[in-house]
Structure 1
């Protein structure tokens, strides 16, 4: 009898909640199908804005305990998505959330974005060498929306993942987002404001190479989003669902998650991250 190892997928994310927001449906889909899924988180998200007023004193400017709280949120989200292999880059707490560009947190001595790129890439290379994934996922060069930690995650993944079969950048589809936002506009009971045209970060569909159908895994994705209650609010009424970050802007829950192939063969990759690979 010949035993064949399952396919292996590794995702590199900047903060707790990014795995669920950007790739939650994809993670749940592949984990459910027997793929070995590894999630690498680069910081504890210490600089995040806190939604529940009762937890406001956890903030970086107060007790500075948000990072530890978000570790528990991340564990719950990973359980919801079916992830059993989660790792913090360099070990838990090695690098700190840098905050958005131009804020004082950028200058913290442990800020991820100001850390040694070579050291961070070496840590990620060691994980990749251990896991041996065929597919690696992270953000594009802009980090999706310009966050310094997302950009650094892109940089170290680009440096460390040279030997994997495929590298993908997680993006959001312009057409799917606009269609979803238009549907939100027909709901009169949403607790948040609607996004203005062009307010949500999107990628032109002509640039997207891969669309992963996650329609059968939205229950898991929404459960994972709810686990990140300091950062994400989820609204649901039957089949209707939306979410918002601390800015209170409603965002649609779409039926697919989208990627741009950055490295590797495109053959068979249109609807499956592993499509066409041996």
Structure 2
């Protein structure tokens, strides 16, 4: 059995992006550890905050509930401040993750990798999927941490831009305008995710959609989670039922299989 460490920028990113992979790994007996870079303090402030309850406290509680739904074995909080979107004043806050020293932050993640004797570490693609400063920083920090710790396998979570385009076109064909397209500029001016022919793994997590939904429900204070949960079940599975990864050490070509099962290579697309 392997130990996998997932590095995410904010509480709720794990639910929308890798909850299926995490749950599948747990179901197979692997150890799953989650590192959360920021406290998510610039997320939505829910109307039902109790007296004295902060957004950070709520989001930590939600993260605990999501982790329980997934079966995550350990959560590590790095404790940086949420940097906000590109161009926000929060980017330059002294405690923001965006401003964090790369070697210092990577060293902290590397310490977790060594402590866990992790075989696999998973961060984000080069632009964090959609250009959020904290997501871009997760890419740099995780890649460097893998180098420092000598972790055998380093993967990057991403979104399949071509699959997103197909989903958006299907929604439009059904008479609904989502208001954006897969090729539109995201937070950093780049389109979402990664082209399909540059990805390495397409992992079917359809069997774990209820877990993924439960993880998202745990983050119900956040509008992004609520928007995903509002999708009809067939669309929810179509959009979120396959989780995509790059693995820079692998040869080119998308494998529609499970990256923890090397026999999946035989099913290369």
TM-score range with shorter-chain normalisation? Answer: 0.7 to 0.9
Contact 2:92 2:98 in 1 (8 A): no
- Distance in 2 (CA, whole Å) between partners of 1:82 and 1:179 is 32
- Distance in 1 (CA, whole Å) between partners of 2:67 and 2:111 is 22
The corresponding residue for 1:274 is 260
Shift of 1:64: 9.0
1:40 equivalenced with 2:31 (yes/no): no
Contact 2:161 2:194 in 1 (8 A): yes
Show CA shifts across 1:43-80 (max 9, x none): 11001234x5x24899xxxx892111100111111111
The corresponding residue for 1:255 is 241
Shift of 1:241: 4.7
Show CA shifts across 1:154-201 (max 9, x none): 11111110212211111111232223333434657x8xx514223472
Show CA shifts across 1:76-98 (max 9, x none): 11111111211112xxxx31111
Identify the match of residue 170 of structure 1 among 142, 149, 157.
Answer: 157
Shift of 1:263: 3.4
Higher mean displacement: 63-72 or 169-178: 63-72
Contact 1:269 1:275 in 2 (8 A): no
- Distance in 1 (CA, whole Å) between partners of 2:215 and 2:174 is 24
- 1:80-91 superposed matches below 5 A: 80-89=69-78
How many residues of Structure 1 are paired with residues of Structure 2 in the alignment? 250
1:196 equivalenced with 2:180 (yes/no): yes
1:12 equivalenced with 2:1 (yes/no): no
More helix per residue: 2
Shift of 1:150: 1.1
TM-score by length of 2: 0.83
Rate the CA distance shift 1:269–1:34 in 2: closer, same or farther, 3 A: farther
Shift of 1:242: 4.0
Contact 1:267 1:276 in 2 (8 A): no
Higher mean displacement: 94-103 or 173-182: 173-182
- Distance in 2 (CA, whole Å) between partners of 1:108 and 1:131 is 31
The corresponding residue for 1:69 is 58
Contact 1:139 1:151 in 2 (8 A): yes
TM-score by length of 1: 0.81
- 1:93-172 superposed matches below 5 A: 94-162=79-147, 163-172=150-159
Q: Which runs of 5+ in 2 are unaligned?
A: 185-190, 264-269
Show CA shifts across 1:141-161 (max 9, x none): 211111111111111111110
Contact 2:200 2:250 in 1 (8 A): no
- Distance in 2 (CA, whole Å) between partners of 1:267 and 1:253 is 21
- Distance in 2 (CA, whole Å) between partners of 1:184 and 1:149 is 30
- Distance in 2 (CA, whole Å) between partners of 1:136 and 1:269 is 19
- Distance in 2 (CA, whole Å) between partners of 1:263 and 1:142 is 18
- Distance in 1 (CA, whole Å) between partners of 2:103 and 2:155 is 21
The corresponding residue for 2:266 is none
Where in structure 1 do 4 or more consecutive aligned residues deviate above 4 Å? 55-58, 264-270
Rate the CA distance shift 1:57–1:103 in 2: closer, same or farther, 3 A: farther
Q: Which runs of 5+ in 1 are unaligned?
A: 1-5, 244-251
